[in-house]
Amino acid sequence: MRHTLALAGVLALTWLLWSGHTGALLLGLGLLSVAATAALARRMGLVDGEGVPLAVVRPGLITYLPWLLWQVVLSSIDVGRRVWARDPGLAPRMLHVTPTQATLTGRVLYANSITLTPGTISVMMEDDDILVHALHAEAADGLASGDMDRRVTALEGPA
């Protein structure tokens, strides 16, 4: 039931932020559509720990998301400069990264964080290994430093 309520809350917040409507009629219709969608998702068996992963919502997320966003900005600037440079210094490589997260959700969050950062893509994920394509040596070195891995592991907290 808490997964269904969490889904309904996220849907309602998303609807309200994207629509911007605050009139009684439209708020009522929005609430009706959120309730129908959450009920339909529950009836279809989509509302569970995998479909609505509440384990990801932790207090550390408040500090991790801005840090990740900043890394995405820095990497985007770097990739943009390399696109326009005469000598971009590209040295594509595949590397294996060993995640230290204890749960599958933590490892998936780490792999997705790698992919969100321009210049790196998680190609394949196994239990104790993530195959990553890095566009240049600095991107590979950034992953090898383990900073993102430590932050995701800290975010994961006790299982």
The 10s digit of each residue's pLDDT in 106-135 is 899 899 999 999 999 999 999 889 999 999
Residue 20 confidence (pLDDT) above 90: no
Under the banding of pLDDT at 50, 70 and 90, the label for residue 21 is confident
Look at residue 94 and give its three-state secondary structure: strand
Summarize pLDDT for 45-103 with one digit per residue, the tens: 888 776 666 666 677 888 899 999 999 999 999 999 999 999 988 999 999 999 998 88
The predicted model gives 137-148 an average pLDDT of: 89
Sign for the CA dihedral angle at 92, 95, 101, 102 comes to: positive
Distances (CA, A) of 10 to 16, 31, 53: 10, 12, 12
> Do residues 68 and 113 make contact, with C-beta atoms less than 8 angstroms apart?
yes
Q: What is the pLDDT of residue 155?
A: 85
The reply to whether the predicted model has a pTM over 0.75 is: no
Q: Measure the CA–CA gap between 114 and 97, rounded to whole angstroms.
A: 10
